[in-house]
Amino acid sequence: MLGLSKKDTTFLLIVMFLTLATPILLQPFPEASALAQFNAGYPDLMQRFAIFGIFAIGFNILFGLTGYLSFGHAAFLGVGSYSVVWMYKLLSYNVLPGLILAVIVSGLFALLIGYISLRRSGIYFSILTLAFAQMSFNLAYSVLTPLTNGETGLQVYTDDPQVLMDAASPTSPHFFGIVMNDVSKLDVGGWQFTFSNGYYFCAIIAIVVFYLSMRIFRSPFGIMLRAIKTNQTRMNYTGLNPRPYTLAAFVISGMYAGLAGGLLAAMDPLAGAERMQWTASGEVVLMTILGGAGTLMGPVLGAGFIKYFENIFSKINDNILHAWFSALPDGLEDAIVFLLHPFIGKGWHLTLGLLFMLVVIFLPGGLIEGGTRIWNAASGKNRKKKQDHADHHPKPSAHVN
Amino acid sequence: MHPARGFIDAGFTMDAIILQILNGLDKGSAYALIALGLTLIFGTLGVVNFAHGALFMLGSFCAVTLQKILSLSFTVEDPSQKDFLGNPLKVDTPYIVSWFGDATGNAILNWSVPLAILFAIPVMLLVGYVMERGLIKHFYKRPHADQILVTFGLAIVIQEIVKYFYGANPIPTPAPDAFRGSVDFGVLIGFAQNEIIYPYWRLVYFLFSALIISAVFAFLRFTTFGMVVRAGMADRETVGLLGINIDKRFTIMFGIAAAVAGLAGVMYAPINSPNYHMGMDFLVLSFVVVVVGGMGSLPGAVLAGFLLGILESFASMNEVKSLIPGIDQIIIYLVAIIILLTRPRGLMGRKGVMEE
Amino acid sequence: MSKFQMNRRTLIKSGTAIGAGLALPTIFTSSARAYLNEPKGGTVTLGFNVPQTGPYADEGLDELRAQELAVQHLNGEGDGGMLNTFSSKALKGNGILGKKVQFVSGDTQTKSDAARASAKSMIEKDGAIMINGGSSSGVAVAVQGLCQEAGVIFMAGLTHSNDTTGKDRKANGFRHFFNAYMSGAALAPVLAKAYGTDRRAYHLTADYTWGWTQQESIATATEAMGWETVNNVLTPLASTDFSSYIAPVLNSGADVLILNHYGGNMVNSLTNAVQFGLRDKMVNGKQFEIIVPLYSELMAAGAGANVRGVYGSMNWNWQLQDEGSKAFVKSFGEKYGRPPSNSAHTCYVQTLLYADACERAGTFDPCGVVEALEGFEFDGMGNGPTLYRADDHQCFKDVLVMKGADNPTNEYDTLEIVEVTPRAQVEYAPDHPMFAGGELGKCNSGA
């Protein structure tokens, strides 16, 4: 159906179901329980899951499939956001013109950067993208302030033209009248679920984008990309020119990033320059690796994992730890809280860094690989497919999930 | 009107230019030292080390730590003075002062930054050793992307650990009193009085870094160990085939590179108060420097460091900024991009290295 | 490719399914509520959005300490602090409107994006009804806009730019902290008296909205006293090394350097300026002077001895001797062992002012709170008689002119008070050009 194999269609349907049911699945704890702060089902976080999932899926096409590590994708995220906010300022709060502009502009920007950067590969390519990202950030932060409003961030002011707006138009981002900020809450028993228009808008786009990436993975184009990752020199010898393919992959991933940036501004009409720092690119690299580079679901899982950590885990503080371990004898409880203290709350960056290192060292395939190993161990299947190590050529083939 | 007159009227007077050159050499010293370490690691071990900025930061914090250790005090309540709440004031007296007496004790505290050099060398060597044996060793054969990622993660972890212990505020570490203030540099090169004034400590930093760079080059050139390392940089496999145990030497090289970065950090502490984030700030620029100089070329890294420092200094002059606004923000990256495209092996890299 | 059967039956079936799906949200529209996050039950939640990581983390943590203290005092614990000296006696120490006060905290990281995300999370997930805190004007403007859109009250923390209650003012936002114009108006006469009226000033300005408004304010104020502004150089916000910007000052003919820098920028630029020997120079027959219009005592600690003799302004300082200040210093000092900073003070006062406004209005509804705060005159909070002006939601009160102390006895009195500028001297009309271009709009209760 729709050009996918039966297995893939089932997979897509499962993903669709999970995405649409997210507001329910992420609120497992009743409101009144002590664990309620681990609920992740509020609109802002769910929207971020979807948006950074889109970002990570796009990045995965470049890094997971093609093998090029780019540190510059945050620039496209920023460009997408600025485009959408400019459309708010010029036309109206309808998100559609902004999103279309975001994809086009970031695609063009990616074409420019990709054309220059892809003349080199490997570490040189990474550093080129790094230089471009920092340059774009500096330009957006200090130099091009009429366009980007620098440190304060681009916002809509009362004296903006907004030509397409009239008295009846909503004064916050909307999609042809469906306002993004509107929520509906549902109370069932002790649980509370929040259904947000904004989340569903992002979720539907995420599903479409996921479907596209699936098609790319399975297509001849995707196989070409994997060939480039495996051994580019050999590909050259067979007479194929990798350049158009890598450029296409770069532009596609740039457009995904622009779309994600545009959606960020569609949910919250402010575009800050910090979105373009190279450390924001580092974040998406973390997400892809953590989840599993080169797999379909991996980057999305990685994005969700990191966003969850950032928002929920960082809110745990000593009081909460004491509440958890209150069953233990006092001395032991204090000792455990003391040991865990540097790793929670504000120190969650430390936990994230350690986790990242562990994943890169021991589990290069990310969470997906971890999950597969556990599944194999649990189901007792004796999979012959061994884990390729990078020091054996050819480079490891992507896990096809 | 003589054309030079217009140039000078625009602000490009001789002393302004010399001042900016001095500034550039000073900035360039830090870049050159970090890039030197990076190139050593990349050239000998073939590892891209994104944690190098963190090593620089650790060096600065060695200076901070020594200052804190030397300032460890015992508290005595002095009822003759009051604190802000009206309670007797608690007076801190450093142990050093009470053991060695006022004069010597305070002198030791004063010279804590240069003393930190002695403290930092073993600490950084140890850190480098542990890093290499514990982590880097396993990544020699992994692709560069993996090396970047794991060292990036390590940099974040080191940064966070430092932040946990020292807080997020910059911690002032002043230079010794003898070197505070500025020297009338202009007089030394024949200018009128008070034309070119430059801070003492920055000149000291420049001389210090020149010293270290020369030491490293001398080491590589005039010792057997250095000869083996240079051979290993040229062709690692053959060196192994010749029966020389290159592994142990790699560990020592990593330690030395870490120590170089650490020393750069120690002496930099008085210039800009150390804070946990300074590593990341220097990292991007250092990589750009290494790439411009030519990955694997030591003279190239040093040269590129100084050149880019001077370039950055000139670009921040008002006169230049009025011609091209915002140039100081992007000049280094522009130069890097142009060099990467036209001469990918960098200024002094070997032909054929990483040119694909 | 599978065949897609299209006939009337499938169309009706799928049509009803889609229609039901689209209609789903409206079926579950929650019961009508008067305003967003109306506190039901026995507690009310306040959101404290402060920088816990990043360059202003120390200030943010001090703000959080003060906010925790305020919540304690509101709930009737501790010694009551400024509640005892506050001129309005509406608060009784049993929470707000009888509901116990709880709080949640978030990390702004001093980035607009992260601050908005954190505020959103506190509003949507934790049900916060007021947001307070912050250490940067860019962030304050961003969060103020968010609170206006969402429908909660924003009580600003440390924000000094004119724009927060000028170009970017919002009906749901309130600022107690003073602004750049007030700094200029307070500093200029003191500077003229100390340094004379025949001075030439070189400005180094952080290149973002706060820097620009700060520079504009101090330049206008000093020029009115007869000073000449030789040059104004914009420095990138992310700079750590200002040597290239200091060097041209030496030959510019200026004899005063005005550093429109805050936080880390101020520490580095002041340190660099002193390193280059600017303080020891004589230019035009006069001693070269440096001025830092906005001081933060926590960041001044990072500059060490370099602040000696440098003038600046502050919103409040623990060394004030009025009843309110002494009560607050005692409370804070006994709990935390150190005197409070001025950012801690402003957050503490803002929390109390919000609680008091709710009590007087009899409701937590943002529109009711706005009405209660507009035009509110109060005293006993450490700055003398204060007015919350209705036209722009800005507090008007006395301003402190500070100077780096020559002989600090401990780490807390590195700055000394030179003058307490009376409120009348720093007032301006609501339509002053430096504050023009914005309008409050209508209050938004998020209904």
Phi/psi for C147 (5° steps) reads: -65, -35
Q: Residue C322 pLDDT > 50, yes or no?
A: yes
Lowest mean pLDDT across A137-146, C29-38, C172-181: C29-38
Lowest mean pLDDT across A165-169, A303-307, B4-8: B4-8
Averaged pLDDT of chain B: 82
pLDDT greater at residue A38 or residue C68: C68
Query: Taking Cα atoms as reference points, which of C284, C247, C277 lies closest to residue B15?
Result: C247
B contacts of C248 (beta carbons < 8 Å)? 11, 16, 317-318
Give C179-194 pLDDT, tens digit per residue: 999 999 999 999 999 9
Number of domains in chain C: 2
| Residue C377 and residue C333 share a domain | yes
Q: Which residue among C314, C335, C363 closes a domain?
A: C314
pLDDT at C200: 92
pLDDT at C23: 38
Q: Select the residue of B199, B275, B318 nearest C276 (Cβ to Cβ).
A: B199
Residue C394 gets which letter from DSSP? B
C contacts of B277 (beta carbons < 8 Å)? 55
Helix B52-70 vs helix B144-166: crossing angle, to nearest 10: 20
Per-residue pLDDT band for C2 (boundaries 50, 70, 90) equals: very low
Cβ(A113)–Cβ(A316) under 8 Å? no
Domain ranges of chain A: 6-295
Give A294-348 pLDDT, tens digit per residue: 888 889 888 988 888 877 777 776 666 777 777 778 888 888 888 887 777 777 7
* Rounded distance between C-alpha atoms, residue B321 and residue B317, angstroms: 6
The complex's ipTM? 0.80
pLDDT at C277: 82
Residue C96 gets which letter from DSSP? B
pLDDT at A390: 41
Tell me whether residue C447 is in a domain. no
CB contact under 8 A, A187 and C53: no
> Which two tokens mark C244?
């290239």
Tell me whether residue C93 is in a domain. yes
Give yes or no for a cis peptide into A23 (omega within 30° of 0): no
| Residue C254 and residue C195 share a domain | yes
Per-residue pLDDT band for A388 (boundaries 50, 70, 90) equals: very low
**At C128, which amino acid appears?**
A
Tell me whether residue C331 is in a domain. yes
* Rounded distance between C-alpha atoms, residue C300 and residue C305, angstroms: 9
Residue A36 gets which letter from DSSP? G
pLDDT at A327: 78
Per-residue pLDDT band for A210 (boundaries 50, 70, 90) equals: very high
Residues 186-205 of C with CB under 8 A from B: none
Per-residue pLDDT band for B350 (boundaries 50, 70, 90) equals: low
Distance of CA B285 to the CA centre of its chain: 11
**At C203, which amino acid appears?**
H
The span from the first CA to the last CA of chain C, in angstroms, equals: 50
Report in angstroms the alpha-carbon separations of C332 from C326, C340, C379, C382, C410: 10, 6, 19, 14, 18
What is the arithmetic mean of pLDDT over B111-117? 87
| Residue C310 and residue C190 share a domain | yes
| Residue B256 distance to chain C (closest CA, Å) | 27
Pairing of strands B182-184, B88-94: unpaired
What is the arithmetic mean of pLDDT over B43-62? 89
Q: Which residues share a beta bridge with C256?
A: C201, C289
Query: Taking Cα atoms as reference points, which of A19, A30, A26, A55 lies closest to residue A42?
Result: A26
pLDDT greater at residue B109 or residue C4: B109
pLDDT at C312: 93
| Residue C301 and residue C211 share a domain | yes
What is the arithmetic mean of pLDDT over B23-47? 87
Averaged pLDDT of chain A: 84
CB contact under 8 A, B329 and A143: yes
pLDDT at C29: 40
B86: how many CB neighbours lie within 10 A of its CB?
Answer: 9
Phi/psi for C174 (5° steps) reads: -140, 140
* Rounded distance between C-alpha atoms, residue C174 and residue C349, angstroms: 12
The span from the first CA to the last CA of chain B, in angstroms, equals: 52
| Residue C233 and residue C167 share a domain | no
| Residue C209 and residue C130 share a domain | no
Give yes or no for a cis peptide into B3 (omega within 30° of 0): no
Q: Which residue among C314, C342, C360 closes a domain?
A: C314
> Which two tokens mark C56?
């202003």
Tell me whether residue C412 is in a domain. no
Q: Residue B6 pLDDT > 60, yes or no?
A: no
Residues 6+ apart with CB under 8 A from A97: A87, A91
Q: Could you please report the per-residue DSSP string of C115-182?
A: HHHHHHHHHHTT--SEEEE-S-HHHHHHHHHHHHHHT-EEEE-S---GGGGTTT--TTEEB-S--HHH
Q: Residue C37 pLDDT > 50, yes or no?
A: yes
- At B223 the three-state DSSP class reads coil
Cβ(C417)–Cβ(C146) under 8 Å? no
Cβ(A121)–Cβ(A242) under 8 Å? no
CB contact under 8 A, A270 and C113: yes
Percent of residues, chain A, with pLDDT higher than 90: 22
CB contact under 8 A, B198 and C276: yes
- Predicted structure pTM score: 0.84
Lowest mean pLDDT across A357-371, B29-43, B260-274, C210-224: A357-371
> Which two tokens mark B246?
């290159």
CB contact under 8 A, A152 and C114: no
Pairing of strands C399-404, C415-421: antiparallel
Helices vs strands, H then E, count in chain A = 17, 4
Helix A43-60 vs helix A242-267: crossing angle, to nearest 10: 170
pLDDT greater at residue A391 or residue B189: B189
Per-residue pLDDT band for C21 (boundaries 50, 70, 90) equals: very low
pLDDT at C18: 42
pLDDT at C183: 93
pLDDT at C8: 55
What is the arithmetic mean of pLDDT over A166-175? 80
CB contact under 8 A, A123 and B295: yes
Q: Residue A105 pLDDT > 90, yes or no?
A: yes
B120: how many CB neighbours lie within 10 A of its CB?
Answer: 25
Tell me whether residue C433 is in a domain. no
Query: Taking Cα atoms as reference points, which of A364, A296, A300, A394 lies closest to residue B149?
Result: A364
pLDDT greater at residue B225 or residue A394: B225
Q: Residue A93 pLDDT > 80, yes or no?
A: yes
Cβ(C401)–Cβ(C106) under 8 Å? no
* Binding partners of B (≥3 Cβ pairs within 8 A): A, C
What H or E segment, with its residue span, contains residue A24?
Answer: helix A22-25
Q: Residue B136 pLDDT > 60, yes or no?
A: yes
| Residue C305 and residue C185 share a domain | yes
Q: Could you please report the per-residue DSSP string of A202-227?
A: HHHHHHHHHHHHHHHHHSHHHHHHHH
Q: Could you please report the per-residue DSSP string of A333-345?
A: HHHHHHHHGGGSG
> Which two tokens mark C1?
């490719």
Helix B200-222 vs helix B14-40: crossing angle, to nearest 10: 40
Lowest mean pLDDT across B327-331, C60-64, C358-362: B327-331
Q: Residue C328 pLDDT > 90, yes or no?
A: yes
Per-residue pLDDT band for B354 (boundaries 50, 70, 90) equals: very low
* Rounded distance between C-alpha atoms, residue B65 and residue A329, angstroms: 36
| Residue C247 and residue C168 share a domain | no
Go through chain A and tell me how many residues it has.
401
Percent of residues, chain B, with pLDDT higher than 70: 93
Per-residue pLDDT band for A1 (boundaries 50, 70, 90) equals: low
| Residue C159 and residue C68 share a domain | yes
C contacts of B110 (beta carbons < 8 Å)? none
* Structural domain for C114, as ranges: 43-178+318-396
Q: Which residue among C396, C419, C440 closes a domain?
A: C396
Tell me whether residue C11 is in a domain. no
| Residue A220 distance to chain C (closest CA, Å) | 18
> Which two tokens mark A344?
């929670």
pLDDT at A394: 52
Query: Taking Cα atoms as reference points, which of C396, C419, C384, C329 lies closest to residue C177?
Result: C396
Per-residue pLDDT band for C22 (boundaries 50, 70, 90) equals: very low
- The residue written with tokens 């550039």 in the block is B24
Tell me whether residue C1 is in a domain. no
| Residue C191 and residue C172 share a domain | no
pLDDT at A382: 54
Lowest mean pLDDT across A83-87, A150-154, A313-317: A313-317
Pairing of strands C228-235, C282-283: unpaired
| Residue C169 and residue C98 share a domain | yes
Beta-carbon contacts below 8 Å between A and B: 117
pLDDT greater at residue A204 or residue B292: A204
- Give me the sign of the Cα torsion angle B44, B49, B52, B55: negative
CB contact under 8 A, C30 and A184: yes
Q: Which residues share a beta bridge with C231?
A: C202
Phi/psi for C292 (5° steps) reads: -120, 100
Query: Taking Cα atoms as reference points, which of B46, C317, B40 lies closest to residue C328?
Result: C317
Distance of CA A332 to the CA centre of its chain: 39
pLDDT at B64: 92
pLDDT greater at residue C109 or residue B208: B208
Give B263-280 pLDDT, tens digit per residue: 999 999 888 888 888 888
Cβ(C347)–Cβ(C134) under 8 Å? no
Q: Does B145 touch chain A (CB under 8 A)?
A: yes
B contacts of A291 (beta carbons < 8 Å)? none
CB contact under 8 A, C240 and B278: yes
Tell me whether residue C233 is in a domain. yes
Strands (E) across B132-270 are located at 182-184, 197-199
Report in angstroms the alpha-carbon separations of A393 from A362, B31, B138: 19, 36, 17
Query: Taking Cα atoms as reference points, which of C130, C118, C174, C106 lies closest to residue C36?
Result: C130
Give C343-386 pLDDT, tens digit per residue: 999 999 999 999 999 999 999 999 999 999 999 999 999 999 99
pLDDT at C33: 63
What H or E segment, with its residue span, contains residue B233?
Answer: helix B224-234
Averaged pLDDT of chain C: 86
Query: Taking Cα atoms as reference points, which of C95, C104, C105 lies closest to residue C43?
Result: C95
| Residue C368 and residue C335 share a domain | yes
Q: Could you please report the per-residue DSSP string of C230-260?
A: EEEEEE-TT----HHHHHHHHTTT-SEEEEE
pLDDT at C179: 93
Q: Select the residue of C25, C116, C138 nearest A195 (Cβ to Cβ).
A: C25
pLDDT at C31: 42
pLDDT at A392: 42
Task: Give the CATH number for residue C124.
Answer: 3.40.50.2300
CATH number belonging to the domain at A6-295, selected among 1.10.357, 1.10.155, 1.10.3470, 1.10.10: 1.10.3470
